[in-house]
Chain A
Amino acid sequence: MDSNTVLLGVVVATALAFDFTNGFHDTANAMATSIATGALRPKIAVALAAILNFLGAFLSLAVAATIATGIVEAGAITLTVVFAGLVGGLAWNLLTWYFGIPSSSSHALIGGVVGATLIAAGTSAVKGAGIVSKVLIPAVLAPLAAILVATIGTFLVYVITRKVPDGIRTRGFRIGQIGSASLVSLAHGTNDAQKTMGIITLALIANGTLGKDAGPPLWVIVCSASAIALGTYIGGWRIIRTLGKGLTEIETPQGFAAEGSSAAVIFASSHFGFPLSTTHVCAGSVIGSGLGKRLAEVRWHVAGQMATAWLLTLPAAAIVGAVAWKGADLIGGAGGVTVIFLLALLGGVGLYLASRRSTVNAANVNAEWTGRTPAPVKETVR
């Protein structure tokens, strides 16, 4: 095995690992509200989201072999930069998951790539205007748009159905909520699995395995779809808890309005080419659903922590990306990349073990909100 093959292998493995964290980080976007309102049992919800993410990955027609287009100079993107960017994104995803904070996987990836590019090719290779227009401004507008839509939607839902008997109302909105949450899952699969496919395809092209304008081979599509679906099924319970219970207490009509708003904003932004992060939209919708019912039901300090994390996403992932690139570069060659990969793996395992000390899972995800992690569930003796 020559060093190019090793490098390629490590990049593909890292991309799939990122895809996996992308999946479990974003389960919450579609399913947190359905789990919180009891419209779906937790395990059923994550299974449904996983299936829809898998299907969504196959539905997308155009996979662009581009990464961070318009944000860094295309010429500056080498395999090592892509790798370091992925490590930066991965690290931020895992850290925010540990703290139960929903944050954008795309922004984390972009941050990682920007950091790696900065140190690899210098400031001239990074387009500041691109960062402002494609990352910073959308990060502010996405939650605002979602809050607006969800607030109006929730308000209308409660006004229109105030005389509807509880039975019909709850059952009707549960079905509606499952439907709209499914749409969010499907949209997530089409958009996010595509990114990983694009990265792997890019790596294959850079290696000469694929022709210059080739699309992704079937195995790439299957692997990416499986990684994101598996991640979704594993479920980022810590994040689901924050989004479903932490931001606001959600009733079924609110959950329906929130998911409806998320689905509409995501579909609209994807159609009109205004890049909004699914995570930012969904968090905004949940806040809106709290505002629409009665003001001051939102736990603003939780929202504040979340917003802080969003601001930190780009620089934090960029630092990790830069360090990862520098480390791989100092050691040199495929060996350097492999060492960094193993270090990242070690860090991931460490965070996982740390999370075991205060597990959030399907059993306690809906426990009373007292802080971030709920009281541990007693192990059931079989």
Chain B
Amino acid sequence: MNAYLDLDALWRVLVAALAGGAGLVAVFSVALAGLAATRPTSEGGGGRPLGWVVAVTGFLVVAAGVVLGIWVMLAK
């Protein structure tokens, strides 16, 4: 079977794809949730400044992941 299937490469692809495709997507969502938390709520509660930290950190992580992805692809 191994002559036909490079299991090693397959595992790496799966792990990297999960980290990027599900992980970064989730981080982006967390950042959006952070952004939403900075807004005042309709019940009169104030916005939470911590949201900004979450949002900015999240977007930076995603941006770094994208740059890494492009770099890795072009380094071939």
Binding site for B on A (CB under 8 A): 59-62, 129, 132-133, 137, 141, 145-146, 148-150, 152-153, 156-157, 160-161, 163-165, 168-169, 172-173, 176, 179, 183, 186-187, 190, 253, 256-257, 260-265, 267-274, 276, 285
Contact = CB atoms under 8 A, between A and B. Distances in A.
Given A61-B74, A149-B21, A257-B25, A274 B13 contact: yes
B26 A62 contact: no
Contacts of B24: 260, 264
A260 B25 contact: yes
A152 B73 contact: no
Contact of B29 (A60, A157, A264, A285): A157
A263 B3 contact: no
Contacts of B60: none
Contacts, number: 138
A264 B21 contact: yes
Given A187-B73, A267-B16, 18 more contacts: A60-B76, A129-B3, A129-B4, A149-B17, A152-B22, A153-B22, A156-B25, A156-B29, A161-B36, A163-B36, A164-B36, A172-B28, A183-B66, A190-B73, A264-B69, A267-B72, A267-B73, A274-B13
Contact of B9 (A173, A176, A187, A272): A272
B3 to A, nearest CB: 7
Given A150-B21, A264-B17, A265-B13, A169 B76 contact: no
Contacts of A261: 17, 21-22, 25
Nearest to A191: B73
Counting contact residues on chain B (CB < 8 A from A), the size range is 20 to 34
13 contacts: A148-B14, A148-B18, A153-B25, A157-B26, A163-B33, A164-B33, A172-B32, A256-B25, A264-B16, A267-B73, A274-B10, A274-B12, A276-B13
A338 B20 CA distance: 47
Nearest to A133: B4
Contacts of B25: 153, 156-157, 256-257, 260-261
Given A145-B14, A163-B36, A137 B22 contact: no
A285 B3 CA distance: 28
B10 A156 contact: no
For the complex of A and B, the 9 pairs showing the least CB-CB separation, nearest first, are A264-B20, A264-B21, A261-B21, A268-B16, A160-B29, A149-B21, A153-B22, A156-B26, A260-B25
A271 B16 contact: yes
A142 B36 CA distance: 35
Given A129-B4, A141-B10, A161 B21 contact: no
